[in-house]
Structure 1
Amino acid sequence: MNPLARTAYYCCAVRALDAERRQPICGDQLAQRFMDEEALAFVAPLLRFSEPAVCNAARHRMIDDLLRERLAADPKHLVVLLGAGLDTRAFRLHGGKWVEIDNPEIMAVKEAALPATQSPNHLQRVPIDFQHERLADVLKPWQGRRKATVVMEGVICYLSGEQLRDSLRALRASLPAHRLICDLQTRMFADALGGRLRRELASFGAHFGELSVRPWRDIESAGYRQHSRQSIVERASLHGALWAPPFLLDTVFRFIRDGYTVCEFEAV
């Protein structure tokens, strides 16, 4: 299995387990469709890290909420999930024209468990070999669309600086004035809180990109304006799912609060 495809199962397992809680954070009832016994056994070593799992569910919910707001204003809005993984939003959220882009292995798994034809919204799945195909070529059918939102959830942390710049360049050329939603980790946060999970993922073959002190600056320097930045850790804490109370996150552990965020950018 492709190492990045394996991380998709981890994120999906987090959402499936969250959906079983009495008060779920995300409430993705469809995630369980992908989690058979083999998949659950594979991700079991990763799920012992409870705090990253809670943050993962909170991250997904935060992006859900941003997309709900966008789709309420424009029910025909184009949403491109770049590195879609086992995302089920096209089936759960109301409205939108959805495009899911990921490697062929993931697309085949999704189509078998949750066929695109069953989506209540318009959904097109596009397989891409990231090693040999150009993102700009894959995006040609939507060339010039100005009203679009691109979601890169759990993706940027695996990209080198060059890969990130190339991806953003292709997005800006194909979808001028699009809105980008992504999650970003600072180097300090990853070292302090994410190290154990990162090492476990690396043992499965996942390769991480460079970490920045201020990763949002990397996006801005590629031709984007920051629209918003929200703390994933703070959101998880509000759900009562983390050990740190708000007053500590606002003071001693502020670097943790601000080190893992969901960000919105506008291409300029």
Structure 2
Amino acid sequence: MWATAVGVARVRALETERENALFHDPLARAFAAAGGLWPTTPPPPGDDDEAARRRRLAVAFSIVIRTRFLDDLLQQASAAGVRQVVLLGAGMDSRAFRMDWPEGTRLFEVDTAAPLDFKASVLRQERAVARCERIPVAVDLREDWPGALAAAGHDAAAPTVWIAEGLLIYLPEDAVEVLLARIGARSAPGSRMGLTLGSRGVIERFGADAVPGSAASLWVSEMPDDPVGWLAGHGWQAESHTLRERAAAYGRPMRTPPRREERPGGLISAVRR
């Protein structure tokens, strides 16, 4: 599943090359190239028509908007004094290298050994230097990752900003509940959280080929009908944002008209009170 992170890196590399880019990720191209997805990636066999191309572009658009959304959330958390960041399922995330962090920030990248090792090889090749204290934590999220995080130096008594980007859709609903309970247990008051949620309806609408890394078969979780109420039950005061709303705010409005059946927003920001 982690190979999907290379597909996301390719999307971020393409966005970085835009004149009006919503963010700049100088390492994304190196990750995509090392994973064999740069400069181009062939379409799935027998599915290279214009409709398929539009579907892939739509999913890439959603990755761009969610990246900017979570960048903003992290900057707001830093401005509020939060100095611990935990990226769950970090993949090829390069925020430790591309964002400006206040002095004393510690950023934990939690993922399994395979993507972290792949990432480390690219970082060495690029001679990348982190702009904060970056701490990789090699552990499977199905195992005792809170214990591994604590052993790596995470302080549960201090506020943390948690990011789960493109992760929850791949976890069964019971595993999502366990994950949130574990996050809550290590979240001091004032902690922040950024989540991306989704529905299998995206696959049904866009096609499995649109999902980076062809991971559609692993997409098992559904977005709750009431994300704000759901997170309130876990002790978080949350706000739900739609892709369309955020895209318009960033000056990159969606070209397609709203769908009558569009669900609540899948971009979530939350605060621990």
Matches within 5 A, 1:21-36: 21-36=18-33
Alignment CA distance shift 1:93-1:146 (3 Å): same
Letter in 1 for 2:138: P
Q: TM-score, normalised by structure 2?
A: 0.80
Matches within 5 A, 1:140-151: 140=150, 141-151=153-163
> Where does the alignment leave 5 or more consecutive residues of structure 2 unmatched?
45-51
For residues 43 and 253 of structure 2, what CA distance do their matches in structure 1 show?
Answer: 20
For residues 35 and 85 of structure 2, what CA distance do their matches in structure 1 show?
Answer: 31
Q: Secondary structure at the match of 1:182?
A: strand
1:45 alignment partner in structure 2:
43
Q: Percent identity?
A: 24
Matches within 5 A, 1:76-155: 77-95=83-101, 96-115=105-124, 118-131=129-142, 133-140=143-150, 141-155=153-167
Deviation at 1:70, TM superposition (A): 2.0
For residues 121 and 186 of structure 1, what CA distance do their matches in structure 2 show?
Answer: 34
1:225-250 residue CA offsets vs partner (Å, 9 max, x unmatched):
21x22222333355446322xxx44x
1:231 alignment partner in structure 2:
242
Determine if the alignment matches structure 1 residue 261 to structure 2 residue 270: no
Alignment CA distance shift 1:176-1:16 (3 Å): same
Q: TM-score, normalised by structure 1?
A: 0.81
2:210 alignment partner in structure 1:
197
| Residues 10, 43 of structure 1: 8 Å contact kept | no
Aligned-residue CA RMSD (Å): 2.9
For residues 41 and 206 of structure 2, what CA distance do their matches in structure 1 show?
Answer: 19
For residues 77 and 57 of structure 2, what CA distance do their matches in structure 1 show?
Answer: 31
Deviation at 1:100, TM superposition (A): 0.5
Letter in 2 for 1:94: D
Deviation at 1:28, TM superposition (A): 1.6
For residues 11 and 199 of structure 1, what CA distance do their matches in structure 2 show?
Answer: 6
Among 4, 9, 14, the alignment partner of 2:11 is 14
| Residues 7, 213 of structure 2: 8 Å contact kept | no
Task: Tell me how many residue pairs correspond in the alignment.
Answer: 254
Alignment CA distance shift 1:23-1:123 (3 Å): same
Letter in 2 for 1:114: L
> Where does the alignment leave 5 or more consecutive residues of structure 1 unmatched?
none
- Point out the more displaced range, 228-237 or 81-90: 228-237
For residues 39 and 206 of structure 1, what CA distance do their matches in structure 2 show?
Answer: 21
| Residues 24, 98 of structure 2: 8 Å contact kept | no
For residues 94 and 38 of structure 1, what CA distance do their matches in structure 2 show?
Answer: 27
Q: Secondary structure at the match of 2:114?
A: helix
| Residues 240, 264 of structure 2: 8 Å contact kept | no
Deviation at 1:155, TM superposition (A): 0.6
| Residues 236, 271 of structure 2: 8 Å contact kept | yes
Letter in 2 for 1:80: V
